[in-house]
Amino acid sequence: MGLANCPECGKLYVENAAGICPECYRKQEDDAEKVVEYLRDVDKATLEEIHQATGVKHKIILRLLHSGRIMGTAISYPCETCGTLIDQGRLCDKCSKNILEQMKPEERKQEQEPQSPTIKTRSRMYGNLEKDHFK
């Protein structure tokens, strides 16, 4: 643990588990309280609605959401790529599919060379693994 610049305010602070300076940490806890308080009476909300009602930054609300601090309320927030409202993960279905499709060509290239010794060894390895797994 040493000194670091706080990613929120840029001030020098002694590194801690929270990763931000105590001042910003306290502020974020206040913000978290506000958000949790607001959501207590709501079944579902969008990120924008929460932001409007509490004045808390989108970034902080998202962090709360991804760290599991917000529960019991369905929150919609924009997909990180296209902005479509989603309520789980970081990307909408369409964008996750796009990413999967971008990855496919490489897989196919490997499958086209079944005679390659590496692949043979590998499938043998996987075969053994599977057997072990089902014991």
Using CB under 5 A as the binding rule, whether residue 6 contacts Zn ion is answered as yes
| Shortest spacing between CB 46 and Zn ion, in angstroms | 15
Per CB under 5 A, the list member of 1, 8, 19, 108 interacting with Zn ion is: 8
For 24, the 3-state DSSP assignment is helix
For Zn ion, give the closer residue by CB, 19 or 127.
Answer: 19
Using CB under 5 A as the binding rule, whether residue 24 contacts Zn ion is answered as yes
Using CB under 5 A as the binding rule, whether residue 14 contacts Zn ion is answered as no
Q: Do 80 and 91 meet the contact criterion of CB atoms below 8 Å apart?
A: yes
| One-letter amino acid for residue 5 of the chain | N
Interaction mask 71-100, Zn ion, x per CB under 5 A: --------x-xx-x-------x--x-----
| Shortest spacing between CB 108 and Zn ion, in angstroms | 24
Q: Among 49, 3, 60, which Cα is nearest to 27's?
A: 60
Write the DSSP string, 39-108.
Answer: HTT-SEEEHHHHHHHH---HHHHHHHHHTT---SSEEEEE-TTT--EESSSSS-HHHHHHHHHHHHHHHH
Interacting span for Zn ion (CB under 5 A) from 17-25, 48-56, 57-65, 108-116: 17-25
d(C-alpha 54, C-alpha 100), whole Å: 36
Using CB under 5 A as the binding rule, whether residue 60 contacts Zn ion is answered as no
Q: Which residues bind Zn ion (CB under 5 A)?
A: 6, 8-9, 21, 24, 79, 81-82, 84, 92, 95
